Amino acid sequence: MARSAKTALVLCLDVGFSMSNSAPGQEPPFQQAKKVIQKFVQRQVFAENKDELGLVLFGSDITKNNLAKDDQYQNISVHRQLMIPNFELLEEIQNDVHPGSQQADWLDALVVCMDLLQNETLGKKYERLNIVMLTDLNTPSSPDQLDIIIGNLKRAGITLQFFLPFPVDGGGSNPPHGGKALSREQQQGLEMTKQVMMSLDEEDGLEEVYTFSDAIEKLSVFKRVEKRPMAWPCTLTIGSSLAIKIVGYKAVCEERPRKSWSVVDAQTHQKDDIKRDVVYCLNDDEETEVQKDDTIQGYRYGSDIVPFSKVDQDQMKYKTDGKSFAVLGFTKQSMINRHQFVGTQVLKVFAPKDDEHAGVALSGLIRALDDLKMVAVVRYVYARNGNPQVGAAFPCIKEKYECLVYVQLPFMEDLRQYSFPSLENNKKYTPSEDQLSAVDSLIDSMMLVEEDKDGVKKDLFKVNHIPNPQYQRLFQCLHHRAVNPSAPLPPMDPWLTTALQRPLAVATRCQAPLETLKKKFPLKEVVKKKELKTSKELFGNSTEEPDAKKAKVDEEEDFNLADITEGSITQVGSVDPARDFRTLIRQKSLPFGEVCQQLTGRIEQLLGNKNMNYYIKCIPCIQTFREQSVQVGNADHYNSYIQSLKTSIPVRGLQEFWDMLVQDALTLINKDEVDGSTFSSHDAKQFLTAGEKKEELVAAVVDDTGDVDDLLDMM
Partner 1 sequence: MAQWNDYHHEDEDVDGEERDESGVDYKSTGRDSLVFLVDASKEMFKGEDEEPSPFDMTMQCVRSVYTSKIISSDKDLVALVFYGTEQSKNPRNSFKHVYIYHDLDLPGARRVQDVDGLRGEKGAQVAGETMGSGNTNLGEALWCCSNLYSDIKLRLSHKRLMIFTCRDTPHGGDSERDRQARTKASDLKETGVVIDLMHLMKPGGFDVSLFFCDVVSPPEDEAELGLQMEPCGKLEDLQKRVRAKEMKKRSVASLNLCLGEGMNVAVGVYITALQARKPNAIKLYRDNNEPVRTKTRLYHTQTGSLLLPSDTKRVQVYAGRQIVMEKDEVDVIKKFSDPGLELIGFKPMERLKLHHHLRSAVFIYPEEEMVTGVWSACVFTALLRRCSVRNVFALCKYTRIRNSPPRFLALVPQKEEVDDGQAQIAAPGFHGIFLPYADDIRTLDTTQLPTASESQVDKMKEIVHKLRFKYRSDAFENPVLQQHYRNLEALALDLMAPEHIEDLTMPNVNMMDQRLGSLAQEFRDLVYPADYNPEGKTAPKRKPAEAAGGTEKKPKVEMSEDELRGHVQKGNLGKLTVPVLKDACKQFGVKVTGTKKQELIDALTAQLTK
Segment 505 to 524, residues that bind partner 1, using CB under 8 A: 506, 510-511, 514, 517-518, 521, 523-524
Distance CA 691, CA 670 (A): 17
Binding residue for partner 1 (CB under 8 A) from 453, 530, 682, 693?
Answer: 530
| Residues belonging to the chain | 715
Scan residues 393-412 and list those touching partner 1 (CB under 8 A).
394, 396, 400-403, 405, 407, 409-412
Binding residue for partner 1 (CB under 8 A) from 174, 283, 385, 705?
Answer: 283
Distance CA 618, CA 607 (A): 8
Binding residue for partner 1 (CB under 8 A) from 276, 453, 682, 693?
Answer: 276
Scan residues 601-660 and list those touching partner 1 (CB under 8 A).
none
Q: Is 383 in the site for partner 1 (CB under 8 A)?
A: no
| CA distances, 466 to each of 322, 352, 450, 496, 507 (Å) | 38, 32, 19, 9, 19
Q: By C-beta, is 285 or 675 nearer to partner 1?
A: 285
Binding residue for partner 1 (CB under 8 A) from 255, 664, 696, 707?
Answer: 255
**Nearest-approach distance from CB 223 to partner 1, in angstroms:** 9
Q: Is 285 in the site for partner 1 (CB under 8 A)?
A: no
Binding residue for partner 1 (CB under 8 A) from 69, 125, 428, 693?
Answer: 428
Binding residue for partner 1 (CB under 8 A) from 306, 456, 711, 712?
Answer: 306
Q: By C-beta, is 157 or 421 nearer to partner 1?
A: 421
Asked if 16 and 100 count as a contact pair (C-beta separation under 8 A), the reply is: yes
CA 635 to chain centre: 37
Q: Is 218 in the site for partner 1 (CB under 8 A)?
A: no
Q: By C-beta, is 224 or 652 nearer to partner 1?
A: 224
> Which range, of 124-132, 344-352, 572-580, 670-678, touches partner 1 by CB under 8 A?
344-352
Q: By C-beta, is 411 or 559 nearer to partner 1?
A: 411
**Nearest-approach distance from CB 619 to partner 1, in angstroms:** 24
Asked if 602 and 556 count as a contact pair (C-beta separation under 8 A), the reply is: no
Binding residue for partner 1 (CB under 8 A) from 206, 326, 630, 662?
Answer: 326
459: left (phi over 0), alpha (psi -120 to 50) or beta: beta
Q: If DSSP codes are grouped into helix, strand and coil, which group holds residue 245?
A: strand
Distance CA 78, CA 116 (A): 8
Distance CA 567, CA 126 (A): 43
Best CA proximity match to 162, nearest among 202, 118, 203, 215: 215
> Which range, of 116-124, 190-198, 256-264, 611-619, touches partner 1 by CB under 8 A?
256-264
Q: By C-beta, is 69 or 339 nearer to partner 1?
A: 339
Binding residue for partner 1 (CB under 8 A) from 148, 264, 561, 697?
Answer: 264
Binding residue for partner 1 (CB under 8 A) from 123, 157, 455, 485?
Answer: 485
Best CA proximity match to 146, nearest among 182, 114, 111: 111
Q: What is the DSSP letter of 64?
A: B
Q: By C-beta, is 148 or 264 nearer to partner 1?
A: 264
Q: What is the DSSP string of 448-497?
A: SEEE-TTS-EEES--GGGS--HHHHHHHHHHHHHHHSTTSPPPPPPHHHH
Q: 75-114 mask for partner 1 (x: CB under 8 A)?
A: --------xxxxx---------------------------
Distance CA 600, CA 30 (A): 13
Amino acid at 124: K
Distance CA 607, CA 624 (A): 17
> Which range, of 56-64, 196-204, 279-287, 544-552, touches partner 1 by CB under 8 A?
279-287
Distance CA 480, CA 483 (A): 5
